[in-house]
Amino acid sequence: MSADLALLGVLAVLWGASYTFIKIGVETIPPVTFIAARTLIAGAILLAVIRWRGLAMPANAATWRRFAFQACLNSVVPFTLIAAAERSVDAGLATILNST
Strand, helix or coil at 35?
Answer: helix
The C-alpha atoms of residue 78 and residue 75 are separated, in whole angstroms, by 6
- The pTM assigned to this predicted structure is 0.76
DSSP state of 88: T
The answer to whether residues 94 and 84 touch, using CB atoms and an 8 Å cutoff, is: no
Q: Residues 26-81: pLDDT tens digits? A: 999 999 999 999 889 999 999 999 999 999 999 999 999 999 999 999 988 988 99
